[in-house]
Amino acid sequence: MNKRLICIDLDGTLMSQDGQISQRNQQALKKCLLMGDIVYFVTGRPYCFAKSLALTVDSGIGVVAGNGSCYEKNGSLAIHSIPEKAVRKFVDCLEEEPVHAFFKSLHEFYSHDLYDERFLYDRMNGWFSDECQVHSHVEMTFEELREKAADIHKILVYAENRERLKQFEKEAEKIEEIHISRYNEISFDVTAKGVDKGKAIRDIRECREIPREAVIAIGDASNDLPMFREAGIRIAMGNAESSIRQLCDWTTAVQEEDGVALALEKLYRK
CA 52/CA 45 separation, integer angstroms = 11
For the chain, what is the HEC assignment?
A: CCCCEEEECHHHHHCCCCCCCCHHHHHHHHHHHHCCCEEEEECCCCHHHHHHHHHHHCCCCEEEEHHHCEEEECCEEEECCCCHHHHHHHHHHHHHCCCEEEEECCCEEECCCCCCCCCCCHHHCCCCCHHHCCEEECCCCHHHHHHHCCCCCEEEEECCCHHHHHHHHHHHCCCCCEEEEEEECCEEEEEECCCCHHHHHHHHHHHCCCCHHHEEEEECCHHHHHHHHCCCEEEECCCCCHHHHHHCCEECCCHHHCHHHHHHHHHHHC
Express each pLDDT in 53-82 by its tens digit. Answer: 999 999 999 999 999 999 999 999 999 999
- What's the mean pLDDT in 38-51? 97
Res 98: pLDDT:
84
CB 79 within 8 A of CB 105: no
Q: Which residue type does 216 have?
A: I
Over 90: is that where the pLDDT of 191 sits?
yes
Mean pLDDT of the chain: 96
- The residue with greater pLDDT, 198 or 185, is 198
Q: What is the pTM of this model?
A: 0.95
Over 60: is that where the pLDDT of 1 sits?
no
Express each pLDDT in 202-259 by its tens digit. Answer: 999 999 999 999 999 999 999 999 999 999 999 999 999 899 999 999 999 999 999 9
CA 153/CA 147 separation, integer angstroms = 16
Q: Which residue type does 153 have?
A: H
**How would residue 185 be classed by pLDDT, with cut points 50, 70 and 90?**
confident
Q: What percent of the chain has pLDDT over 90?
A: 95
Over 90: is that where the pLDDT of 177 sits?
yes
Res 183: pLDDT:
79
- Residue 98, judged by CB atoms within 10 A of its CB (0-12, 13-18, 19+), counts as middle
Q: Count of residues for the chain? A: 270
Q: Which is nearest to 87 in space by CA: 136, 142, 137?
A: 142
CA 144/CA 189 separation, integer angstroms = 21
Res 26: pLDDT:
98
**How would residue 97 be classed by pLDDT, with cut points 50, 70 and 90?**
confident
- What's the mean pLDDT in 131-157? 97
Among 78-82, 123-127, 179-183, whose mean pLDDT is lowest?
Answer: 179-183
